[in-house]
Structure 1
């Protein structure tokens, strides 16, 4: 069905119409674009003119070359001639099938929403396209003309908005990549500052921690019984976590260097110990168990680490001896699972969880430390 009597009319939604529009937005002639696509100077303008008039459809490689030259997403160059309403209707029906778009009614007004089943058997949830719609909405609002805008300013906004759409999602990916690169640079600089901070304050921080722990450690040693199994150490870590001692499962330091000789056990923010009497008693028992394992020949050391200018005391074990404590990491998620349910589950069910956990960690794999 012809909407226009003029046979030279090219729909802006067709492949050719889009190539022409984007080329003009980029300020390129047909010849310039053709040469950028690798065509000879003698035929460059003719080739592009044929594509723009839809007399020829670019092959896949040529289509990719045109997209690369125009710096647009390859998916934006497809035939979307929807000037007849019927074509638009059926395009929406296609989107319903493939991406769950369907009409909804709210407050006696009709809207379109992404949700529901698709032809590939997956359900689309309302939030699945939220990020796309958010980006689209923000750019649409940003380029709306103001009453005070001149004609030239309005045209510039229209052109920039059109180019944003043709470049999507490449432009967003590039922007996110830049943000990620900048964040990585910031993280690297912060890591260098943290490493320097830990080096400068490490000795003084350990001395302050030892001094603050002296009384609690002495009291703990009077009642402490040497442990002989890894499960006893795991149960202590579980006890600390359930007492809301802020233990870090992984090393808090961010470093570009990997220490292959040592494995992280736990880290605790030093000030959370120094400034909290209740935490000191729990930590004292932890120190007693560390000393027991060290006397048994395990190479466990401590150091001050730092992240975002906050100091942590970090305990590590030699990688060659990690087998003696590997079950701590293996069952850490179980510990957190139980901790999160304390207070919300009946005591009987928590007791049952604890029994199952105890059976897990005291099986035939339970290593004797001494």
Structure 2
């Protein structure tokens, strides 16, 4: 059962206005659905999600969702979402006492995993809303997915998958632990967050009008776009740092996908170090083979992008464009040191030194 508290506002000796603000605390999975439908402030504390089950939280308009204590789950091999949260004009945040624990070490299999059978962690479908002050640890698969959301503000998120590094986990290391996956958001701002993981720090797969600022990425595949179809436009990565990663900047359009566009992209004030694969990778031939212009890339700007690389296979620039597939690129004050192999360059737009 969940606890329900009603708050009544009194002025003087007479009742001027009455507000019924239901405040609920839930620690049982079976009580969440009813509480979400009725509570203005829903606190979830020390809750265990049953095996092969999604915790679905459909919040009332204007509600607050508070995570307190330890949220975790019974481990099983499956490919669903552990948590799905929907709502409009809602606020979602954690207390100083909370932890969202994905129990990654019980899921990860490293190179011995022929087929991914790990759940994704948190999926949000929100409008006119805020997500703040969340702590995630050891995501089994993708960490935070922002899907079909509009006008969403995300700040002070800490994603800690340090235990998934091969040097820490041994042979059962983590893979596919994307920090933020953006699957169709319009009007999104993500800021002041830390991502320690083993795949893209941010992966934009669809949407428009986004700003990512003051991100600190460690161990990732970089600040990325991965587009298989549809349009992405007006996206900015600002004032961020990428370190101990495969890539700093990675833009990939799928040559086995359908059609779309990727345009009006800005990377500004990006610092990187200990990058062992590519400082800047732009591929119109992903995942492999011939570059195609099915998803042209236009109006891409890199401004004050600087850093260092390490390792014998490190490369400053991999820019593989199809004929006519890339246009209007602007690289201003881009500096890469320490790269050990020659750049790969195909059909690079005029004015770009590759």
The question of a shared fold, defined as TM-score above 0.5 by the shorter chain, is answered with no
Give the TM-score of the pair, scaled to structure 1: 0.19
Determine which structure has the larger strand proportion and give its number: 2
Determine which structure has the larger helix proportion and give its number: 1
Q: Max radius of gyration: which structure?
A: 1
